[in-house]
Homo-oligomer: A and B are copies of this chain.
Amino acid sequence: MTVVLVLGSTRTAAIEGISAAGADRKAMLETPAVDAELVWDGQPITSESIPVSPSGCPTPALVTRAVHEVVGFDLLVIDAGLSATTRAPCVQLSQRVGGDIREIEPVPNAPTVFEAARDLAVERAFEEVTIGESIPGGTTTALGVLRALGEPYGVSSSLADNPTELKDDVVTEGLRTSELEVGDAAGDPFSALRSMGDPVLAAVTGFVTGAVSTGSTITLAGGSQMVAAAALLRHAGVDNALTLATTRYVADDVGSDLDRAAASLDFELVITDPEFERTNHPALEAYCRGEAKEGVAMGGALGLVGDNAMDEVHRRCLDRYDELVVTDAP
């Protein structure tokens, strides 16, 4: 099994109140880069600390890393356009960060990124792929893409209190700037990606397009962003079997939309339960209160864990958290 982690940045994340993927806006710029280091090496390399939300909830990369240690999987990191440097080994497909979707054409290079990712997947010819992402602001661009394609589903959030009105406003403004009505990009995924997307969605869609063409089995590991990827794939005419694996926390947030998307976009839905309430640890229990919810392939990674190994995953998450998160306790 190869877990593919696609990293990128979008200036959409800089909109006040849109994302919790970082303690503050400066830290958020580094989140995908450090997430990849954490999964690869078990520790941040370019940063002193691991990414946390403003309230201190740790990045899902912590969980994906724990699964990596317990289950063992091949890791392939793809840089689709990062604003920060990462020291995790990665394939660099682009150096262009996505723009704010309220601008005209925030991702002009979406076709190039798509094609580079597709070609990589074709050349490498993976057997089984679980593909996840790390891009702050990614649920808002996902919403933008869904609306451009005319898909009606809502999106989740890394914030416990999903700022749906703000996201709707941003997407509405983005569509207006791009002179698009809802659904105008139906059947035209490049138009949706260029006008309302982000580099990660371009790379994920391209990668999966290439991978299925070589017979790879694909799991889209994530929530709303992977629903957007599935929609882009279907609108691109890709009709291969797809599975989407995400956490219970996403399902609790947007559950019925997830079921409707699975039916309409024809993907198998796998909901994994991290069971963090069993850890009695405030950092992980934050997930049970709806923080972070998903990301960095966490939902898909947990799907690789057998029933007997979940305790071990918990233990490693907690050990790593205590080791890496400096507390003020005496």
Contact residues in B for A77 (Cβ distance below 8 Å): 89
Closest to A43 in B: B123
Contact residues in B for A76 (Cβ distance below 8 Å): 89
Q: Within 8 Å of chain B (Cβ to Cβ): is A91?
A: yes
Closest to A92 in B: B92
State whether B91 touches A91 (Cβ < 8 A).
no
Could you say how many copies of this chain the assembly holds? 2
Known: A41-B123, A41-B124. A89 touches B87 (CB 8 A): no
Contact residues in B for A123 (Cβ distance below 8 Å): 41, 43, 45, 87
Contact residues in B for A92 (Cβ distance below 8 Å): 85, 92
Q: Within 8 Å of chain B (Cβ to Cβ): is A70?
A: no
Chain B min CB distance to A118 (Å) = 12
Contact residues in B for A90 (Cβ distance below 8 Å): 89-91
Chain B min CB distance to A124 (Å) = 6
Q: Within 8 Å of chain B (Cβ to Cβ): is A88?
A: yes
Interface residues of A (CB under 8 A from B): 41, 43, 45, 76-77, 85, 87-92, 116, 119-120, 123-124
With contacts A41-B124, A90-B90 known, what are 4 further pairs, Cβ within 8 A?
A: A45-B120, A45-B124, A77-B89, A85-B92
